[in-house]
Amino acid sequence: MGVIEEDLRRHPYPLPSREGSFHNMILGIGTDIIEIDRIQKAIERWGRSFLKHVFHDEEIRYAQKFKFPAQHFAARFAAKEAVYKAIGNNKHLGWKDIKILNDANGKPYCVLSDRKFKHKILISISHTRNYAVASAVIAA
């Protein structure tokens, strides 16, 4: 069992299935909100080096497709923070260990670089002109 899984097993909460049984477990939840202007200022100050430090190439390409990419960078930043909070205090987890992508239907999903991590990570992302928010749930 990896370090992340050991952290998550400390406080499991049952998650009811469709059948009403409690075979799934919520192992962690996390939420984050960020001002989009904060990410915009970081991009203006540090440019590509900031983006490369925090985001994967796929995340950068995705956000830069839009007229206002800072909203999309902020949403992914918030999602990474939410995942980090849901997993718990793990000093071995960095920005680029968490990748936020979208499926063919536009639904966001998370890819964690730790191959030993076998739990499901559910995420939800939203943003307005000024704020981006994300929630993450780790389920067994």
From the CB of residue 58, how many other CB atoms can be counted at a distance below 10 Å? 13
Average pLDDT (15-19) is 53
pLDDT in tens, 45-59: 999 999 999 999 999
The pLDDT-based confidence of 115 (bands split at 50, 70, 90) is confident
List, in order, residues 6 or more apart from 2 with CB less than 8 Å away. 114, 116, 117
**2-19 mean pLDDT:** 51
Residue 74: closest CA among 97, 103, 42, 49: 42
The reported pLDDT for the residue numbered 122 is: 96
- Structure tokens given for 56: 């994967």
Give the tens place of pLDDT for each residue, 56-101.
999 999 999 999 999 999 999 999 999 999 998 777 889 999 999 9
Judge contact between 75 and 134, C-beta under 8 A. yes
- Mean per-residue pLDDT for 98-109? 95
Distance (Å, rounded) from C-alpha 41 to C-alpha 137?
Answer: 29
CB 117 within 8 A of CB 3: no
Q: At the topology level of CATH, where does 26-139 sit?
A: Ribosomal Protein L22; Chain A (3.90.470)
- CB contact at 8 A, 122 and 29: no
Task: Categorize the per-residue pLDDT at 18 as very low, low, confident or very high, splitting at 50, 70 and 90.
Answer: low
What are 64's two structure tokens? Answer: 């830069």
